[in-house]
Amino acid sequence: MMNKRSLIQTFAIFVIIGLALNLAPEADSLPSGIAGQSEKGCICHGAIPDSGVTPSITGLPSTFNASTTYTLTVSFTGGPSGTDAAPFNLGGFNLAVSSGTLAAVDERVKIENGEAVHNGIDDDEDNNGIHDSVEAGGEPITSGNDFTSWTVNWTSPESGSTTFNLAVNSVNGDGAASADDKWNTMSVSVSGPSSGIVAEPLEPADPFVVLATLIIVSGVLLGAVLLYTFYRANPDGFNWESFAPWITGWLTTTDHKKVGTLYFLAGFFFLGIGGIMAMIIRVQLAVPGNDFLTQDQYNQFFTMHGTVMIFLAAMPLINGFANWLIPLQIGAADLALPRINAMSFWLQPVGALLIFTGIFSGAAADTGWTGYAPYIVSETAHTGTTMWVAGQIMLVASSTLTGINFLTTICAMRAPTMGWMQMPLFTWSIFVANLMLFISIPAWGVGLIQVYLDRTIGTAFYYVASGGDPLLWSHLFWYFGHPEVYVVIVPAFGIISEVIATSARRSVFGYRSMVYAMAGIGIVAFIVYGHHMFTSGMSPTLRFVTMLTTMLVAVPTGIKIFNWLKTMHKGSLIYRTHTLWALGFLVTFTLGGISGMFFPSLAMDTHLHETYFVVAHFHYVFVGGTVFGMFSGIYYWFPKMSGKMMDEKWGLLHFLTAFISFNGIFWPMHKLGVMGMARRHHTWFVSVDEYTNIPAEMADWNLFISVSAFLFFFSNFILIGNMIKTIISGKKAPADPWGGWSFEWMCTSPPPTPSFDPHNLPVLHDANEYHESEPGGFTKWFAGLMVPEDDSEVSH
Amino acid sequence: MNFYGLMILTAIEVGAVGVDLSAFAESIGATEKQLTFGILWGIGIPKFIMIAAIFMHLYGDADSKILTMTALFPAFFIIVMIFFIGLTSPGAPTDLPAWCRPPSWL
Amino acid sequence: MSGDHGHEHHIEPWGPHDWSHGAPHNSFAPLVMSIGFGVFLYAFANIFVMGGLENISSMAGVMLGFIIITIGLIIWWRQDMSFDGVYEPQGVGAPFRNIDLRKVAMWIFLMSEMMVFTSLFSTYIRYRLGIPNCEDVFLSGEWVEGTTVNCFEPAAHLIASSWFHLAPGAVNTFALIVSSFTIVLALKTAKMSNKKYAKKYDIETANVDAHRSRKVGIYLGSTLFLATLFLTLKLIEWFVGFPTPGPLTDLNHGHSEIKSLFAEGYTIHANAYTNYHYDTSYHGGHDIPTDSALYAMLESGAHPGGMMMADIRVSASTFYVTTGTHGVHVFAGMVGLSYMTFKALRGGYGPSNAVSIEYFGLYWHFVDLVWVLVFPFFYLY
């Protein structure tokens, strides 16, 4: 039983959580922060309304009659209007009504999108105070912007209340938008005949407030779940005395299993945040011409979505698997450099914090996850971009340290007699992925440092005016970026190889070809990156070279797919949840691979590269490949990690809902792309125009995609729920629940610490591959390079 | 020994830049810049090898051979980067070799 | 505790570690250092914005970042002080059989360092070959006085133009080689067996430890001193300049002072760089080669002559950032050396863990190796 003190502490913690949840929606940061309301006015004339300008509307009744036409006079006084010598170009207005219709009385006013605006022509482009039309020898043209008052007819609706939003510009008449021009807005409501129910129009939500609120709510929920886990572990010890060492243990841990768990926590948290961003993007794109996100906000959202998903969700989740499993699979006590390992983890959340500073100040990076120069070094790129770059530099440092650690561990700490060709395929995949990442990421790190210095002390690597070459950034980025996308997918290959072999209850077909295929992908990754730059104006010779090498990638990938199929062929497959995910992976990843084969072709790429076809392709490989592979891995290894069996029914439900809704999101995007829907655009329009033709049926598809997206998003909560439920009340897991035969299944579930006794490491007696009795020429040559086996005095 | 060798080679490098070699360069049919460039490469490579082989123990120890292979592992990726990033420059399709262009372009 | 193979857990996140067995060793250092890096990067970006000095008060943040990193390092080192080489795991199987894991890790780390400098060199090659050289532009005559041209001005053109400009770089090159040598001597001294050591220096075996600590400390300290000298000379060369000794003033065209590169106008903000080399009236035009296009144009009156202005921001950025990255590596080495000197003087290095010096030496020699390439291609050519 809890004592009184623990009870009070528990109560206090829940009060704090409650308060936090209550306060979270009001969190904002000023002055330009997320609370900034979307002003409906001409921000071209200065960022904020000016109180020196006084707008007014006359002719409005105090209450209107149904379907009556009123003549309104809109006018303004004050501001710089009329300071110019010329008696024209005085100002303009925009009148929007929430109901009823507006009509122009004379040609000073026109109606656009149901709103009344002045009919403006600049008849003094040389700004000499004389009408250009007079100078040309004709009659002066008088247009709407030569006045400070206008008349508009308004026909009232049947019932309800109407809000008039008026914005006026007072301009100095010099014909150019400048900060000297002022503007202001006013709003007035008039009520009419009651229709019984008076609908108050809802204030549109600011997407940044939505996002920041949800981030804070997620953070608080995460904290609550962790506290609950701590409480469940020992209900009597729920007090500060036992909490302090518990939390210190996690903050200072260097044990590979605990660090792996931290990676999983961070990865799932950011997977959720990235998902929320995706949902906000899908809300925006659900209907044509939507204005939930402005153009500027949309840029930030898709930038942060990409960055978060790749660097803060996929990579930590992969590292989570790698941390947990590599020492277990190769029979090592821990990683080679445990403290460096902890360092690689802690750099990530701190880097993430830097990347997210932009979100909380309302000016996040808006450069795309590729951060193309020269925009990324321009003044117009948001201030948050600098912090985005700074955070990425920390992630580069983290990946470098991870690389050192895993390469050393896998190269030098395999259990005695475990040769390269006896290593489990998941270990192989992590080895190849880390090698690619490790070799390629310095290029990007250098590029980021160049951009960071360009944006701070003002070096000129990417200033075009000084001769800087924006393509250099693209080169440095994609030299890393293309290996990076393989870094994200190759570990999923490893997971799928393990899962399919175990589920089919036989060893994987063509182990050696699997290894060579992965190694081949790893090498080829470095010479294909130019295909991301086909339309950038890169050297034509290099375009040609990378076109050919890119087509080559299909060969090793195809070998892997067929090996997986062959592994299952005539095996006796057991359909567990992880098996289902692996089968789902085979379908979606192959589809993604096939759509990928359209892009190496230069001509095809030029046609498709800026469309949703690309979005469909890379989501099929990232989500249908990496994420499905990792889901499979979670169901496969969760019993090993937690010591509890997961609920298979929930797992099946998760698979069915997520698999179907995933295809519902991205399959139609292929069609949208081919029909010409452009990616990276904040909205889209249905039109019959010859050049921007998106037929009307596309509106239905987009709505369908958005609905599927929400289904997919929420279906993944089944997994989270399943994990929490399993930790609390799952059945105890045996050491080897699935019949796997690599080293990790030899340990207890969960494994002890250190994972194996460093003085008594396991010895591999039997493996998938037979030992060759007669070593080949290469093996003999290579053995000659190594330190002799009996040489214990190698240090000098 | 290695140390003194490095000191002497460096002194030659500095000397090659500071001393006016134009007369000698013309006698072998090169500009002074080309000659300096050649000398700098010619000295840089042995210096590089001396430091790697002797100071960094890539020669003579039991583990030297395998660590040399480790050190040489990035060579392929370095060459790719120098070629793809250092030595390409953006060009129009007119930069393509002649056999790759339509005849009408000349 | 059951299941941990009979080893005790050592939960000493702040304190010294018992290195007699493998992991885990809890430590606050990773968390603290990461926060320090974050604070540093955040505060630095607030000081300068797009080349302008925005907010000097953020310097406090930069300092705070450094302090936090230092605290993290001190925790890290405090845990390392007790390392005496007892638990030194070695590689198993191909390819790193019987090689210390720390050595393998260091070599793998050097692989990524190679890629870092390859990236910087690729940038340099791309810009050097892709942007027309300032001297060529000048001699082609395709410029007019008063209008800026974009061209690549290698720092070497300025540095190698005078023995005095070259002096700091040349001294630095020798300093780095000597410092590589002192590290080798430190390693040799540390790993000598007690018996041999006593014989060599003709002292009692009981006194070997104290004698050796002092000697290794002195060698590592000299390395630290030379590294400091390197960075000091670099800063003098970049920002400060130095007076020419009296008797040598004549050699320096009569100037009593060698200006720093910044004072010469070779800066990352130089969008209107001028240099006497690019002045047709300098030496009465005698410096212009007679076979150049500019000479012919001046002769025929097709070119008015004057001083060429160049936008050399890209060239200066390439020079400062590449040599600066190397400088940062030297600085990182200094940080490591200061700890190692301290540990050596406290008797931390003996034959059992002398390899620690070797593995640091690998990094230090690599920094030297990079300078072997940076020096000719940024200072000389």
Domains of chain C: which residue ranges? Answer: 1-82, 102-130+162-273+312-380
Question: Does C112 contact A466 at a Cβ distance shorter than 8 Å?
Answer: no
At A27 the pLDDT is: 43
Taking the C-alpha atoms of residue A201 and residue A162, their distance in angstroms, rounded to an integer, is 10
Closest CA to A542 of B89, C123, C119: B89
> Taking residues A324-349, what's their average pLDDT?
93
Please tell me if residue B85 touches chain C, with a CB cutoff of 8 Å.
yes
C219 at the B interface (CB within 8 A)?
no
Are C78 and C334 contacting, i.e. CB atoms less than 8 angstroms apart? no
Contacts of C48 in chain A (CB under 8 A): 456-458
Distance between CA atoms of A689 and A686, rounded to whole angstroms? Answer: 9
- Surface of C (148-177) touching B: CB under 8 A: 160, 163, 166, 170, 173-174, 177
* H-run or E-run covering A103: strand A101-104
Instruction: Kindly tell me the sign of the dihedral angle through the C-alpha atoms of A681, A687, A693, A699.
Output: positive
Banded model confidence at residue A41, pLDDT cuts 50, 70, 90 = very low
Contact between C59 and A752 (Cβ < 8 Å): no
Task: Tell me which residue in C122, C166, C373 faces B81 most closely, judged by beta carbons.
Answer: C122
Distance in angstroms (rounded) separating the CA atoms of residues A387 and A117: 40
Contacts of C119 in chain B (CB under 8 A): 81, 85
The residue to which tokens 């003579």 are assigned? B60
Instruction: Report yes or no: A616 and A667 within 8 Å, Cβ to Cβ.
Output: yes
Report residue B51: phi and psi, to 5°. -65, -45
Task: Clarify whether A644 is annotated catalytic.
Answer: no
Q: What residues of chain B lie within 8 A of the CB of A788, using their CB?
A: 62
Select A43-191's CATH number: 3.10.400.10, 1.10.10.10, 2.60.40.1930, 3.20.20.70: 2.60.40.1930
The CATH code that applies to domain C102-130+162-273+312-380 is: 1.20.120.80
Residue C359 · residue C110 · CB < 8 Å:
no
Between helices C29-47 and A384-412, what is the axis angle to 10°? 150
Residue closest to C346 by CA, chosen among C78, C18, C76: C78
Residue C285 φ/ψ region, left for φ over 0, alpha for ψ in the -120 to 50 degree band, beta for the rest = left
Q: Which chains touch A (3 or more CB pairs under 8 A)?
A: B, C
Query: Over the stretch C14-25, which tens digit does the pLDDT of each residue have?
Result: 777 777 766 668
What are the φ/ψ torsions at residue A432 (nearest 5 degrees)?
A: -65, -45
CB contact under 8 A, B14 and C170: yes
**Nearest residue on chain B to C172, alpha-carbon basis:** B10
N-to-C CA span, chain B: 59
**Is the peptide bond between A25 and the residue preceding it cis, with omega within 30 degrees of 0?**
no
Tell me whether strands A115-118 and A91-97 are parallel, antiparallel or unpaired.
antiparallel
- Give the homologous superfamily in CATH for domain A253-732: Cytochrome c oxidase-like, subunit I domain (1.20.210.10)
Q: Among B1, B8, B55, pick the best mutation site for testing chain C contact (most C Cβ within 10 A).
A: B55
Q: Which amino acid is at A344?
A: S
Residue A627, C-beta contacts closer than 8 angstroms, at least 6 positions apart:
A314
Strands (E), chain B: none
Q: Catalytic residue, from A307, A409, A497, A590: name it.
A: A497
> Chain A contact for C188, CB < 8 A?
no
Q: What are the distances in angstroms from CA A622 to CA A23, A310, A318? A: 36, 9, 13
- Asked if the C-beta of A541 comes within 8 angstroms of chain C's C-beta atoms, the answer is no
Based on the residue annotation, tell me whether A486 is a catalytic residue of this protein.
yes
Dihedrals phi, psi of A303, to nearest 5 degrees: -65, -50
Domain ranges of chain A: 43-191, 212-241, 253-732
**pLDDT over threshold 90, residue A529:** yes
Read off the pLDDT band of A421 (50, 70, 90): confident
On whether any CB of chain B is under 8 Å from the CB of C260, the answer is no
Predicted ipTM beyond 0.85: yes
pLDDT at A259 over 60: yes
Residue A129 pLDDT level (bands cut at 50, 70, 90): low
Tens-digit pLDDT profile for residues A730-783: 899 999 999 888 889 988 889 988 788 777 788 877 655 555 557 778 888 888
Chain C residues touching A463 at Cβ < 8 A: 313-314
The pLDDT value recorded for residue C242 is 84
User: Is A681 among the residues known to form the active site?
Assistant: no
- Summarize chain A as % helix, strand, coil (round to 5): 55, 10, 35
Angstrom distance (rounded) from CA A775 to CA A101: 88
**The tokens of B89 are what?**
């420059």
The active-site residue out of A154, A263, A324, A369 is: A369
**What single-letter amino acid sits at C286?**
H
A532 counts as catalytic = yes
**Highest-pLDDT range among A234-238, A260-264, A674-678:** A260-264
Q: What is the pLDDT of residue A428?
A: 96
User: Does residue A83 sit in helix, strand or coil?
Assistant: coil
Token digits for B28? 């072998």
pLDDT exceeds 70 at position A340: yes
Query: If you average pLDDT over every residue of chain C, what do you get?
Result: 89
Question: Residue C185's closest chain B neighbor by CA?
Answer: B55
Q: Which residues lie below 8 Å from residue B52, measured CB to CB, with a gap of 6+?
A: B58, B71, C365, C369
Instruction: List the pLDDT tens digit at each of the 381 positions of chain C.
Output: 333 444 455 567 777 777 776 666 889 999 999 999 999 999 999 999 888 888 889 999 999 999 999 999 999 999 888 888 888 888 888 889 889 999 999 999 999 999 999 999 999 999 998 889 999 999 998 899 889 999 999 999 888 887 888 889 999 999 999 999 999 999 999 999 989 999 998 888 888 989 999 999 999 999 999 999 999 999 999 998 888 777 777 766 667 788 899 988 999 998 899 988 888 888 676 778 888 899 899 889 888 888 999 999 999 999 999 999 999 999 999 999 999 999 999 988 999 889 999 999 999 999 999 999 999 889 888
Contact between A787 and B67 (Cβ < 8 Å): no
Task: Indicate the pTM of the whole model.
Answer: 0.83
Chain-chain contact of C122 with B67 (C-beta, under 8 angstroms) = no
CA dihedral of A6, A12, A16, A19, whole degrees rounded to 10:
140
* Structure tokens given for A170: 């007072």
Q: Tell me if residue C257 falls in helix, strand or coil.
A: strand
